[in-house]
Amino acid sequence: MLHLCLRSSVKSRRLFSICSVKTQPRTGGRTSAGRICLNWGQPCWRYPLATEVSECTSISQLLYKSGKSIRQCVYGWLRGRVRTPHTFLLVTSPGLITLGLQFRNNVAHCEEEQRCKVNQSPQPVPEFNWKEFWKFLRPEFATLIWAILFACGAALLNTQIPLMLGDLMNGLVQCLRTNPACYLKAMKMPAIKLMIAYTLQGILTCCYITLLSRIGERVAANLRKELFSTLLRQDIAFFDATRTGQMVSRLTNDIQEFKSSFKLVISQGLKSVTQTIGCLVSLYLVSPKLTSLMCLVMPFLVGTGAYIGSYLRKLSQKAQEQGHLASDLITTLVQTWTKELNSREVDEASSMSQILGFGIGIFQGLSNFSLNCVVLGTICVSGMMLAKEQLRAGDLMSFLVATQTVQRSLANISITFGQVIRGISSGSRVFEFLTLQSNIPIQGGFQIPSHVLVGQVHFDNIDFSYATRPGQVVLHNLNLTLPASKMVAIVGQSGTGKSTIASLLERFYDPDSGIITLDGYDIRTLDPQWLRSHVIGYISQEPVLFGTSIKENIRFGKPDASDEEVYEAARQANADGFIQSFPDGYMTIVGERGMSLSGGQRQRIAIARALIKNPCILVLDEATSALDAESERMVQDALDHIQKGRTVLVIAHRLSSIKAADVICVLANGRMKEVGTHAELMKRGGLYAELVRRQTSEETIM
């Protein structure tokens, strides 16, 4: 068995397309029938050469014939005559090896990024929802097909341009050798062809980039709108469990990343793959010998570059983290101005950045050096071939331009691989939120006609825990009745579940067991939107005002309210006086979250907002506890005034404000401990009496 490799002294130019040949030698260097092995490292493709080999008289003849045979095979395959993937693999395998290396590096890098993200938040990355993606892509599908066609067209033209350049050069050399006067004539046709190719390529590039950006932007805008309305439809339990930053990140970063990846995969990925394959075939057709040399060198160079690149990326990530640490420290120091800026973190960040700079310098220097060596090597080898007339000057030019196109395309494919993985992760996160279903619908259900609505509420054997803390039972077997048009107060120590009762009544959450009824109807059968916007008026300790005018803030309670209704609600809430005293009156802008108003003024606007919907049930959740004595008196006056004729649930810390309640319920550890009027509970001398006694003595001390 004879093994010959590329570095053999055989001179035939066609032999460089083969890596090894295995034959059965006869005597005297003659060969018998055998196989030629197209071998790139490991034995892989075998191409039988029985007839030709049997005619060979020497190894060199055999090699010559085998090279020719493979070339014929390539041409044959290109013309669709030979149905074998062997030759295709021969041409593309070095590229595939290179891509494999780069892909491995990119995947490793992305996995690392993923691990970092996972470390920050223990959420696993969900699966990409192709069905959901298709819903958004379908309206743009026709445009997408055009974009793909244009991108492939541009790529195919790119593969032809080096060959055209070669033709131009060959024509030119030929003309200068034979008859320099015919220079213009010789140049004309190839130059026109090239011009057409350049123009077409430019138009196609412009078309596919425009179309892709149109598709990307439309899909992203639709995703954003749909995601936003899906988030709005979620119940409060979802917002308890999800960080605001996480939602904002999905609405902005993830959609942005997904859009960029989508565009990049079509524009760069598709184009680069087409260009790489096309140019490799062109290279082989121009010179199999030079192509084989290139294919030996390139995987090594690109692979090494990819390894160094991934090391530099890691280094850059570390330098960035160190930079963040240093800037956090600087922020702290700037806030306090206490210490000298003489820290290890800052020095560490500086030295890491310097190492990174050194690494980048080495990398760039090495890549410039090696790529220039490749060009020089190609010119040297091709110079010999030129001298022996095995190659023409134009072929050399085609070869160099096509090699550069392949290099660029391989680099782009490598970037695209990483981007695909990042895009799929971002898309998965977006679609995960898009397909969320709320446990409590935002609207839909029965609405009790207003003429029969009396506002009697009953909590029957309620058990409840928050989903985010399933181990902590907040309400145990709670029974509570809010009689129609009466005032019920709930008191108890902090954290006993008072506000939770109000949240259950508004149906922000559903109880784990038990049932809450309004006029005998289970509130789960009622329309939640109607319940919140027409039946219940909720006034909390910290009212939320929007950064718009006072009038709009009040009207928020009833969007179709007339100006007169707004003024009437403000009068009932004791707010009209101070609003009129402002230069802009009802058009006064309240500032972000109402910060340009006092606490008492904010609270009275919130009361007016609750009143404008004329609710049948009023929930006052520590509505006056954040106010000073004067503001509290004014707000309390407003509250006393508006409570008449409504069912009122008061949650209060200041027990003096609920003495007049029809029923006072004392809650401890989520259980109802005492129920009665102020007088009854004081007489009983239990928990309520103890709370009153403690609060009175605290107030006396103050």
Ligand X SMILES: Nc1ncnc2c1ncn2[C@@H]1O[C@H](COP(=O)(O)OP(=O)(O)OP(=O)(O)O)[C@@H](O)[C@H]1O
Residues that bind ligand X (CB under 6 A): 240, 466, 468-469, 474, 492, 494-500
User: Would you state the structure tokens that stand for residue 631, as one six-digit string?
Assistant: 């503001």
To ligand X, the closest distance from the beta carbon of 219 in angstroms equals 35
| 420 vs 663 by CB, closer to ligand X | 663
Annotate 177-202 with b (16+ C-beta within 10 A) or e (fewer): eeeeeeeeebeeebeeebeebeeebe
User: Which residues partner with 491 through β-bridges?
Assistant: 666
To ligand X, the closest distance from the beta carbon of 495 in angstroms equals 4
**Cβ neighbour number for residue 64 with a 10 Å cutoff:** 19
CA 645/CA 395 separation, integer angstroms: 97
| 527 vs 622 by CB, closer to ligand X | 622
To ligand X, the closest distance from the beta carbon of 649 in angstroms equals 12
Q: Is 693 left (phi over 0), alpha (psi -120 to 50) or beta?
A: alpha
To ligand X, the closest distance from the beta carbon of 628 in angstroms equals 20
Question: Would you list the DSSP string of 539-603?
Answer: EESS----SSBHHHHHHTTSTT--HHHHHHHHHHTT-HHHHHHSTTGGG-B--GGGTTS-HHHHH
Q: Which long-range contacts (CB under 8 A, 24 or more apart) does 580-589 make?
A: 582/550, 584/549, 585/550, 586/549, 586/550, 586/551, 587/549, 587/550, 587/551, 588/549, 588/550, 589/547, 589/548, 589/549
| 224 vs 653 by CB, closer to ligand X | 653
| 342 vs 494 by CB, closer to ligand X | 494
To ligand X, the closest distance from the beta carbon of 702 in angstroms equals 20
**Cβ neighbour number for residue 637 with a 10 Å cutoff:** 13
CA 309/CA 315 separation, integer angstroms: 10
To ligand X, the closest distance from the beta carbon of 438 in angstroms equals 16
Residue recorded with tokens 């702290």:
332
Q: Which long-range contacts (CB under 8 A, 24 or more apart) does 26-35 make?
A: 29/58, 29/59, 30/56, 30/57, 30/58, 31/56, 31/58, 31/59, 31/62
| 571 vs 671 by CB, closer to ligand X | 671
**Cβ neighbour number for residue 340 with a 10 Å cutoff:** 6
| Contact predicate 616/649, CB 8 Å | no
To ligand X, the closest distance from the beta carbon of 212 in angstroms equals 44
How far is C-alpha 378 from the chain's CA centre?
Answer: 44
| 474 vs 661 by CB, closer to ligand X | 474
| 223 vs 619 by CB, closer to ligand X | 619
To ligand X, the closest distance from the beta carbon of 466 in angstroms equals 3
| 392 vs 498 by CB, closer to ligand X | 498
User: Would you state the structure tokens that stand for residue 356, as one six-digit string?
Assistant: 């990174």
To ligand X, the closest distance from the beta carbon of 494 in angstroms equals 3
To ligand X, the closest distance from the beta carbon of 499 in angstroms equals 3
| 287 vs 496 by CB, closer to ligand X | 496
How far is C-alpha 642 from the chain's CA centre?
Answer: 49
